[in-house]
Structure 1
């Protein structure tokens, strides 16, 4: 029996690999769905090749999800947009403070270090940081404090207006992070896979703010430190510019993937209501692997 089980362990991954390599474009969606159906939760997927316009897959792409930290990419875009029109420079500085106002009633609230993935920011309270540094912290280590400082600077309503202009019509950026009063009222930042795909495609094509700004944003996104979803099972030579989002039963990743041969694709993976977040992350990482294998198979 032990030998039989060992044989299965060896054969099954090889069989799965062969199945992935034999997929046609019309099978890709079914392969993705079969991977997600085994996990209890709700999922959305948006996949689009930037080199083959007809090569795309959408699954529940218009469903609304809590944005979690995926909303930090729109905040970065608004920062670069306001820099372009001369409101401030990336080299300008902001005083780091831990006091923000709820959008519900203007009452003050503080960030909780235990809810933030960037604890080092709390050591900088009372110091000055450049806007460029804050953008980097907001994206690469998903600092909630940096996010709120930048939203105070550019205005949440301006972020949402810019998203509307870009074409992300169903995205809602209402507030900063950790505004508990707003959360209790259901006043949350929300996204769809479709809208995030629009944003990331336009960044990849140099069409957000301007080409120079888009390229700088890509470089920041490539420095992302949380790599347990889209990048997890991809080879190291694949470059990924992405932003994740995690809260409670929500796990997201949104990315531009750069293949070694120069081809690119956008991939958005959203989830909510996960009974087992770890299983959800694993399933999404495997979806990323399936799509990568599919893309590589196109060359054969």
Structure 2
């Protein structure tokens, strides 16, 4: 945690490396807006949506199953032209894997990782898209740490990812997060939170910016693993979120 208001910080195993799950979608979002800022891409630019991707492990092709995706609605647009801004929104708000893989293919994982490094994320690596089974079997996974995720959100709040307009747009997307059973669940109702969640088997993460009324925000990341029951993991994260909120309120 890093607090913009009081300048205080809290770390507990913050540099432990975790499977990133959908948290890697945060640096993907930032890389997209960096491409917008540098004129390589435009928010309204469209791309033909397809459901076929190439494994980084053996170059075999694979497709995503809508049943395994938290946002099956995007698949209805396959074969159509969709805007990059729309893909970014679905990737963050509903964690669409199809939108994510489309953007990762467009942006290049190496460039996404390089930008994360520039923003202070020392251990985060974006190697591949979602559901690349051959790569997963070889241990080729996206990874991150709590410290890295906090640094990324500090960079966003500090307008180091984009200008004020781009920052406001990214925050707008992150505030529309559909999954709110972790960090927001430990906060007073109605608290402004701009965040992203991620999960795979026995792993649940959440990170973002919390905006207490009348003061500057704080960046927070809570990562869990080896907890089989998602409800237990979510309750733990919500408790940690509440404890941090109460500590900062003193």
Give the TM-score category using the shorter length: over 0.9
- State the Cα distance separating 1:137 from its structure 2 match: 0.2
Q: Is 1:48 the counterpart of 2:2 in the alignment?
A: yes
Q: Which residue of 1 aligns with 2:151?
A: 198
Q: Which residue of 2 aligns with 1:13?
A: none
Q: Which residue of 1 aligns with 2:120?
A: 167
**Matched-pair contact (CA < 8 Å) for 1:173–1:189:** yes
Q: Which residue of 1 aligns with 2:207?
A: 254
- State the Cα distance separating 1:221 from its structure 2 match: 0.4
Residues 70-94 of structure 1 show CA distances to partners (whole Å, capped at 9, x for unaligned) of 1001001000111111112010101
Matches within 5 A, 1:1-80: 47-53=1-7, 55-80=8-33
Name the SS for the 1:291 alignment partner.
Answer: helix
Residues 161-196 of structure 1 show CA distances to partners (whole Å, capped at 9, x for unaligned) of 111111111111001111000000000000011111
Q: Which structure exhibits the higher relative contact order, with contacts defined as CA atoms closer than 8 Å and separated by 6 or more residues?
A: 1
Name the SS for the 1:267 alignment partner.
Answer: strand
**Matched-pair contact (CA < 8 Å) for 2:33–2:161:** no
Determine the C-alpha separation between the residues in 1 that align with 2:228 and 2:36: 42
Matches within 5 A, 1:67-146: 67-146=20-99
**Matched-pair contact (CA < 8 Å) for 1:206–1:215:** no
Residues 70-128 of structure 1 show CA distances to partners (whole Å, capped at 9, x for unaligned) of 10010010001111111120101011111000001211100011210001011111111
Unaligned regions of 5+ residues in structure 2, if any?
none
- State the Cα distance separating 1:262 from its structure 2 match: 2.5
Residues 231-272 of structure 1 show CA distances to partners (whole Å, capped at 9, x for unaligned) of 013223310000000111110000100011223111100011
Q: Which residue of 2 aligns with 1:177?
A: 130
Equivalences, count: 250
Picking from 84, 99, 106, the partner of 1:153 is: 106
Q: Is 1:270 the counterpart of 2:223 in the alignment?
A: yes
Determine the C-alpha separation between the residues in 1 that align with 2:188 and 2:145: 28
Determine the C-alpha separation between the residues in 2 that align with 1:132 and 1:200: 20
**Matched-pair contact (CA < 8 Å) for 1:244–1:254:** yes
Unaligned regions of 5+ residues in structure 1, if any?
1-46
Asked which structure has the greater CA Rg, the reply is: 1
After TM superposition, the runs of 4+ consecutive aligned structure 1 residues lying more than 2 A away are: 209-212
In angstroms, what is the RMSD of aligned CA positions? 1.1
Q: Is 1:239 the counterpart of 2:176 in the alignment?
A: no
